[in-house]
């Protein structure tokens, strides 16, 4: 089941979002232009948003369609990699002499954004398959 994977991925993503946010605030602000710092911070912000979305997917997969929550979760993961990852690299590319990557990275950001939207749509779709509980309670003589 994807629940455990999504909790682990969200935990690692949250850890990296905090580390990258601190790195941006304390180190990159001295190296990058204000515009590039803002781009980097946008990547961190969206990574955080979708880290929480991934946790929501893991928690609600008990009550919602496993198929659609899995789709939502993987779309959020892919969106974080493409959207936030491309913003991180775009922000530091000039400072670290990687400007040749901009041709590849530029289109990745909107693709990542579309994946985020797809994740939210898949989570919306999962909501139509709400189950009261994933565990059957026995009505045996436990009373």
Give the whole-angstrom CA distance, residue 45 versus residue 31: 20
Q: How far is CA 18 from CA 24, 78, 112, in A?
A: 10, 19, 20
- Does some domain include residue 137? no
pLDDT for position 94: 86
pLDDT for position 28: 93
Query: Residue 139: is its pLDDT beyond 50?
Result: no
Which of residues 104 and 53 earns the better pLDDT score?
A: 53
Summarised one tens digit per residue, pLDDT across range 37-88 is: 999 999 999 999 999 999 999 999 989 989 999 999 999 999 999 999 999 9
- Does some domain include residue 135? no
Number of domains in the chain: 1
Q: Which of 120, 121, 103 is nearest to 53 (CA)?
A: 120
Tell me the pLDDT band of 133, cut-offs 50, 70 and 90: low
- Does some domain include residue 136? no
- Does some domain include residue 93? yes
Tell me the pLDDT band of 143, cut-offs 50, 70 and 90: very low
pLDDT for position 135: 53
Other beta carbons within 10 Å of 28: 19
- Does some domain include residue 140? no
- Does some domain include residue 141? no
Give the whole-angstrom CA distance, residue 33 versus residue 94: 10
- Structural domain boundaries, residue 37: 2-129
- Does some domain include residue 25? yes
- Does some domain include residue 88? yes
């Amino acid at each position: 089941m994807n629940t455990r994977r999504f909790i682990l991925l969200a935990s690692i993503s949250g850890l990296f979002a905090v580390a990258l946010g601190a790195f941006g605030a304390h180190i990159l602000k001295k190296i990058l232009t204000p515009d590039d710092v803002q781009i980097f911070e946008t990547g961190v912000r969206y990574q955080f948003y979708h880290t929480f979305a991934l946790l929501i997917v893991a928690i609600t997969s008990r009550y919602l369609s496993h198929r659609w929550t899995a789709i939502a979760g993987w779309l959020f993961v892919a969106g974080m990699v493409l959207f936030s990852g491309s913003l991180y690299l775009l922000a530091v590319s000039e400072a670290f002499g990687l400007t040749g990557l901009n041709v590849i990275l530029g289109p990745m950001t909107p693709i990542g954004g579309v994946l985020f939207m797809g994740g939210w749509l898949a989570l919306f779709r999962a909501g139509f398959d709400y189950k009261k509980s994933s565990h059957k309670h026995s009505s045996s003589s436990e009373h």
